[in-house]
Amino acid sequence: MSTEPTTSAPMSDRTRIRRIPELGAYDRTTIDAILDAGIVAHVGFVQDGQPIVIPTLHARIDDMLYIHGSAASRTLKSVAEGLAVCVTVTLLDGIVLARSIFEHSIDYRSVVVLGTATLVNDPEDKLASLHALSEQILPGRWADSREPTDKELKATTILRLPLTEASAKISAGPPEDAEADGHLDVWAGNLPFVVKALEPIPDPALRPGIPVPDYLTHYSRDGLTTPPNYA
C-alpha cells in the first residue's frame, strides 16, 4: 500500500493562504507529511443550515484522505450524501513568547482539505483503509490484532476525500517583537511542545505472561516528537 506523495496540489482560490501568505505551502510533500504525522482530523460541514465540526481519525493512501466513523453516525451519512466538507489537521509545535502580548503566538503546522467525500463500500478497499487508519495511529498493531469481522466492517463508515484541493500553513521560529520593545526586561523565546508516550498501562483483565509489544515500549511518531524548528 503506497503512501508516497504524488504531484503538488494546485493552489485554488479557496485554498490560497490570504493572511500571512508567506506561511502557506502547496506542495504535496509538505501537505502529506503533516497529514501523516497527525492523529486527529476535524471535519466541518453545514447540515440544514447548522455548521458542524466533528473530530475523527484519518489516514492517507496516495492521493486520498480517509476518515473514520460509526455507520450509525447521522452526520457522516449526511457527508457521504455529497455535502461539501472542510477537513483540517493541526500539529502544535510550541508557544511563542514575545515581549508584548500582541506578538505572542504559537508554532504550528496545519493542513486544510476541501472537497466532497464519498463512501467506501468495497470490502477490500474498506479493509485497506482501516489498515491504514490503524497504522496511522499505532504502526505494527494491525499485525498483532484480530482483523475486523464482516459485521464490524458493516458497522464502520469510511469516507474518502481526494487531495486535489489542499493547502498547508506553517508557523515556526522566534517572536517578532517591535524594535522598540527590545529593551524590555521580559523573557522572550519559544516553549517547544512534543508528543510523548508514557508507560503502557495493561488491561486489568490481561492474561499473565503477555509482554508489552516493542511498538509500545518504543513508540514514536515521525514529524511529531521533534518539531522541525527546534531540531
Unique residue bearing C-alpha cell 486544510? 112
pTM of the model: 0.86
Output the nine-digit C-alpha cell for 153: 466492517
140: left (phi over 0), alpha (psi -120 to 50) or beta: left
User: 55 - beta bridge partners?
Assistant: 42
Question: Which architecture characterizes domain 21-175 according to CATH?
Answer: Roll (2.30)
Model confidence pLDDT, tens digit, residues 42-65: 999 988 888 989 999 999 999 999
- pLDDT > 90? residue 33: yes
**What single-letter amino acid sits at 51?**
P
- pLDDT > 90? residue 5: no
Output the nine-digit C-alpha cell for 105: 503566538
